[in-house]
């Protein structure tokens, strides 16, 4: 499965960046995901509501959720959201295949 993670660092983690600005978080996250058998395609740092976005692939949602659990338990995150990337054409095809089976309320 492909996924997108949006996250915001805790104040404690931001203090860690100030103390060690050379700390390569992209390498650290990539190595952790690789150990799980997942792959990080990119990690971008952002301005705005979230501090970073990660795009990657894993065998299952449970794999990505395990990463979230570990990182959240460390206290480094204020917020961490996982979203699964979907195939919109595949979804639309399935909706088209069952379209005749649906009747809207009152019709």
Is the per-residue pLDDT at 100 higher than 90? no
Q: Note the pLDDT tens digit of each residue in 44-78.
A: 999 999 999 999 999 999 999 999 999 999 999 99
Class (C level, CATH) for 2-101: alpha beta
Q: What DSSP string describes 5-63? A: EEEEE-HHHHHHHHH-TT--HHHHHHHHHHHHT-EEEEEEE-SSS-SEEEEEE-S-HHH
In whole numbers, what is the pLDDT of the chain averaged over residues?
95
Q: What are phi and psi of 97, to 5 degrees?
A: -65, -30
Domain ranges of the chain: 2-101
- Whole-structure pTM value: 0.85
């Amino acid at each position: 499965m492909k996924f997108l993670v949006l996250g915001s660092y805790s104040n404690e983690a931001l203090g860690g960046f100030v103390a060690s600005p050379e700390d390569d978080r992209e390498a650290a996250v990539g190595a952790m995901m690789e150990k799980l058998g997942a792959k990080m395609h990119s990690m971008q740092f952002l301005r705005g509501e979230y501090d970073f976005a990660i795009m990657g692939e894993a065998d299952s949602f449970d794999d990505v959720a395990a990463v979230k659990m570990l990182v959240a338990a460390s206290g480094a995150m204020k917020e961490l959201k996982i979203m699964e990337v979907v195939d919109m054409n595949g979804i639309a095809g399935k909706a088209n295949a069952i379209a005749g089976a649906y009747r809207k309320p009152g019709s």
